[in-house]
Amino acid sequence: MTVLDVTQLQLILEQAFPGSEVPRVENVNGDTVIVYQPVDERHGRPGGTLSGPTMMMLADTSAWMAILAQIGPVLLAVTTSLHIDFLRKPDLTDLMARATVIKLGRKLAVVDVSLFSRGREELVAKAQVTYSIPTDKP
Amino acid sequence: MTVLDVTQLQLILEQAFPGSEVPRVENVNGDTVIVYQPVDERHGRPGGTLSGPTMMMLADTSAWMAILAQIGPVLLAVTTSLHIDFLRKPDLTDLMARATVIKLGRKLAVVDVSLFSRGREELVAKAQVTYSIPTDKP
Amino acid sequence: MTVLDVTQLQLILEQAFPGSEVPRVENVNGDTVIVYQPVDERHGRPGGTLSGPTMMMLADTSAWMAILAQIGPVLLAVTTSLHIDFLRKPDLTDLMARATVIKLGRKLAVVDVSLFSRGREELVAKAQVTYSIPTDKP
Amino acid sequence: MTVLDVTQLQLILEQAFPGSEVPRVENVNGDTVIVYQPVDERHGRPGGTLSGPTMMMLADTSAWMAILAQIGPVLLAVTTSLHIDFLRKPDLTDLMARATVIKLGRKLAVVDVSLFSRGREELVAKAQVTYSIPTDKP
């Protein structure tokens, strides 16, 4: 069902953001991927927690990975909307995203993303992300 | 009506993110602030446009500035939700945010944020951002 | 710039929901329409305010009207997402929606909707609504 | 962990909307409730599908039920925001909502809501709903 594996997705991420530290793809399984952001003190913000932008970036990136795992390397798929609810302060450890494709249409894909700290079950944030899929996809 | 001016808001931003390049507060007027992100090639992404995370960060930061302009230096106000629709590819120039407080309650503040490229009228993204205001504010 | 006027939009609404009480289109001007829901006690809910579903329905309907005013009677345009922040209790009077098209693409249209009580300036709710436009539009 | 059962929740709904046809609470289990809207032709709209407002109403109502199941009959809890992605046309049969509380704070509760047609697994819509909990709750 998936057409790209962990290694291929990781390579796409690294080529898309050359020279940057990018999140890491940990698992691909059916319509769901696990992607995480290794965390250190650079990501902190007032109150001693992970920054909101780090969480939003990971929600966006993991949604992109979940879609590409299904449709292949459509690099120009673009985010059309993102909604996120911040629920709890994450720990200063790996920030995990579980991203599940809940709609894969011809024009739009919608991904449900749960963010949590590695080793904990409770959610730190919850997002719904929509991508537009170019109709001239390979 | 506002209790902090451009200089004071800028200082809060710089102290909140020491050592980082932060957005710049350009104007404060009633319930609205203008904040911008100076843009160079580091912010680009595939397709040659500004990255989504840069836009989400600016929406979040400008909303925070708009709220602090009204209520003072409540550093621990935290984002509880952010919704953003991405509308057009921004130019590779200053990314501007016009953030207007549309509700300022005891517990929650809601901010309407328009993102556009400097010198152009059409929106590149539109966001609604909610912050929780700690009840033990100074 | 608009291709349908108030009377034509009202007729589309009435034909789309035959036998129902539908909102009323009050004004069309460029990319913006004003639509309102006449309100009586049937719309109330606990706490003596207008119901959330009434506000969401009006946000959705006014967004549809704003899009059709631009592109003509594309009856099968469908809502793909709706985000709404509820800000204040509306008065028990006409609920007004000012809906402005902020993106009109080939595939998607995004509409910014402000809800307020007739005769008052402050917003009671604020929404962003996305419609998918069928590619086989007339 | 839950403080109200199916019968008690149903009674609250019926008392809150006297004289109206209200959704039915089917199950309560931990942080999750199942609520459904019996569907007949009155709920249809152009294209022969369930209306968006019906889906938004059910997302909102099921979220309220999920919260009350946890905290008791706090009738004046109010929706502060609702985000919904519409994914597929529902069948003209019972519209089901599975609503799970993902945050229950002192001031805010956030509920994740999946909407589907009875007897089918795929989602027709996905929502995230936030309620404000009055601090003077009983």
DSSP string, chain C: --SS-HHHHHHHHHHHSTTS---EEEEEETTEEEEEE---GGGEETTTEE-HHHHHHHHHHHHHHHHHHHH---TT-EEEEEEEEE-SPPPSSPEEEEEEEEEE-SSEEEEEEEEEETT--SEEEEEEEEEEPPTT--
Torsion of CA B100, B103, B104, B108, to 10 degrees: -110
What pLDDT does residue B63 have? 98
Distance CA A69, CA A109 (A): 12
Rg of chain B, C-alpha, whole Å: 14
**Which structure tokens are listed for A117?**
């700290």
Query: Residue B64 — φ and ψ, nearest 5°?
Result: -60, -45
**In the predicted structure, residue B138 carries a pLDDT above the cut 50:** no
Distance CA C86, CA C125 (A): 4
Distance CA A93, CA B111 (A): 30
Distance CA A87, CA A83 (A): 13
Query: Using the beta-carbon criterion (under 8 Å), do D82 and C46 form an inter-chain contact?
Result: no
Query: Using the beta-carbon criterion (under 8 Å), do B86 and A80 form an inter-chain contact?
Result: yes
What pLDDT does residue C19 have? 73
- Buried/exposed code over B78-104 (b: 16+ C-beta within 10 A; e: otherwise): bbbbbbbbbbbebbeebbbbbbbbbbb
Which of B54, B67, B81 would best serve as a mutation to test chain A binding (most A beta carbons within 10 A)?
Answer: B81
Q: What confidence category does residue A137 fall into, taking pLDDT thresholds of 50, 70 and 90?
A: very low
The answer to whether B130 faces chain D, any CB pair under 8 Å, is yes
Distance CA A72, CA C125 (A): 40
Could you tell me what percentage of chain B is helix, strand and coil, using 3-state DSSP and rounding each to the nearest 5?
25, 40, 35
Collapse the DSSP code of A91 into the 3-class scheme (helix H, G, I; strand E, B; otherwise coil) and give the result.
coil
Torsion of CA D13, D24, D120, C56, to 10 degrees: -30
What pLDDT does residue A57 have? 95
Residues of D with CB below 8 A from A126's CB?
Answer: 102, 110, 112, 128
**In the predicted structure, residue B136 carries a pLDDT above the cut 80:** no
B neighbours by CB contacts (3+ pairs under 8 Å): A, C, D
Distance CA D51, CA D44 (A): 6
For the whole model, what pTM was predicted? 0.94
Question: Nearest-CA neighbor of C62 among C119, C112, C7?
Answer: C112
Distance CA A97, CA A125 (A): 9
Query: Using the beta-carbon criterion (under 8 Å), do B85 and A81 form an inter-chain contact?
Result: yes
Q: Which distant-in-sequence residues (6+ apart) come within 8 Å of A23 by Cβ?
A: A13, A35, A36, A37, A57, A58, A61, A62, A97
Q: How many degrees, rounded to 5, is the angle at CA D28 between CA D27 and CA D31?
A: 140
- Buried/exposed code over A81-93 (b: 16+ C-beta within 10 A; e: otherwise): bbbbbbbbebbee
**In the predicted structure, residue A112 carries a pLDDT above the cut 50:** yes
Mean local confidence (pLDDT), A57-81: 95
What pLDDT does residue C48 have? 45
What pLDDT does residue D21 have? 80
Q: Which residue has the tokens 């034509």?
A: C8
- pLDDT tens digits for A7-47? 999 999 999 887 778 999 999 999 999 999 988 666 555 44
What pLDDT does residue B48 have? 46
Q: Closest chain B residue to C82 measured between Cα atoms?
A: B83
Distance CA D60, CA D62 (A): 6
Distance CA A47, CA D137 (A): 29
Residues of B with CB below 8 A from D107's CB?
Answer: 107-108, 132
What ipTM, to 2 d.p.?
0.92
- pLDDT tens digits for D115-138? 999 999 999 999 999 999 987 544
- Of B52, B75, B83, which is closest to A83 when you measure between CB atoms? B83
Furthest CA-CA distance within chain B: 45
Q: How many degrees, rounded to 5, is the angle at CA A107 between CA A106 and CA A113?
A: 100
Q: Which amino acid type is present at position A84?
A: I
Q: What percent of chain C has pLDDT over 90?
A: 72
- Of C88, C128, C130, which is closest to B128 when you measure between CB atoms? C128
Mean pLDDT rounded to a whole number for chain B: 90
Positions of chain C with pLDDT under 70: 40-49, 136-138
Q: Closest chain B residue to C112 measured between Cα atoms?
A: B126
Helices (H), D72-119: none
Q: Closest chain A residue to D103 measured between Cα atoms?
A: A87
The answer to whether A128 faces chain D, any CB pair under 8 Å, is yes
Distance CA D34, CA D53 (A): 19
For D33, which DSSP code? E
Residues of D with CB below 8 A from A112's CB?
Answer: 126
